[in-house]
Amino acid sequence: MTIDQLKEHALAARRDIVSMIYESGIGHPGGALSIVEILTWLYHREIDLNASPRARVVMSKGHAVAAQYALLYQLGKIKREEFATFRQIDSRLQGHPSIKSLPEVDATTGLLGQGLSVALGMAAAKKLAGDPHRVFAILGDGELHEGQIWESLQQASHMQMDNLVAIVDYNGFSSHDPVNSVINLEPLADKIRCFGWHVLELHNGNDMHQVADTLMLSRHLKGKPVAIVAHTTKGCGVSYMENNGDWHSKTPTTEQYQQAMEELQ
């Protein structure tokens, strides 16, 4: 699949994220839109959902699950008519990933700070089983305020889990507020490196070329787990949502929805 084709998939995913949240009347558009290119690459280039064993994705920032559902729809695991049931009672598309509802999401998450531990456990199990596939954990920058993340960073390094890739969605917001005004993470890359990880900085995590280059490079790093600090734009692709903390959790009006659809053509 070419970069241009991946870009088209990412654009389609953005439309589906906004539509899903608009139709259901609830959701977290900002943090879902910021990780679209990363998830598009993972699901179209790293993961074969029909294989066993296979690579895994743990959505530690589970509130951004609309992005994951958009990609699973592209892969035929979700029906389009299910979008309108997003976050509704008895829907398969719960507001956070649930393997009970949809096994393809790989892990039940939602309580921030725990997903990296889950991914570490999966990576360790793969090592023991001789399974060469990797485990990707998608972390929010705000959840790096949680101590359990740093415990997992230490443990993964100690165990030399080089089949584990932690991708930090560094969109600059912890919920509605600037993340480094809540608790300053900087110098983030240096901190993670000091915990014994390979660290790659992705300067524009919404540029598919850069995403491709960085994820392909990560395949060749051995002996340590890999962390990718991906600088992204919260609400990327919709002008009034970009870098606007108000759109962490908010539903567009009909007028706003129509504007978003026009911008995402």
Q: What share of the chain is helix, strand, coil (3-state, %, to 5)?
A: 50, 10, 40
State pTM to two decimals.
Answer: 0.97
How many angstroms separate the CA atoms of 264 and 11, rounded?
Answer: 7
pLDDT for residue 239 is more than 90: yes
Could you report the per-residue pLDDT of 53-67, keeping only the tens digit for each? 999 999 999 999 999
* Tokens coding 135: 């485990």
How many angstroms separate the CA atoms of 177 and 30, rounded?
Answer: 12
Q: Which CATH architecture describes the domain 3-263?
A: 3-Layer(aba) Sandwich (3.40)
Q: What percent of the chain has pLDDT over 90?
A: 98
Count of C-beta atoms within a 10 Å radius of residue 99: 12
At residue 75, the 3 state secondary structure works out as coil
* Dihedral sign, Cα of residue 78, residue 81, residue 86, residue 90: negative
Task: Characterize the bridge pairing of strands 226-231 and 198-202.
Answer: parallel
Could you report the per-residue pLDDT of 113-153, keeping only the tens digit for each? 999 999 999 999 999 999 999 999 999 999 999 999 999 99
**Chain mean pLDDT for the chain:** 97
Q: Mean pLDDT throughout 199-215?
A: 98
How many angstroms separate the CA atoms of 235 and 35, rounded?
Answer: 9
pLDDT for residue 1 is more than 90: no
* Tokens coding 31: 């943090």
In the chain, where the domains are located: 3-263
DSSP one-letter code for 196: T
Cα angle: 196, vertex 42, 165; to 5 degrees: 10
Task: Characterize the bridge pairing of strands 164-170 and 226-231.
Answer: parallel
How many angstroms separate the CA atoms of 33 and 128, rounded?
Answer: 35
Listed in sequence order, the DSSP H helices in 25-135 are: 29-33, 36-41, 65-74, 115-129
* Tokens coding 183: 């608790």
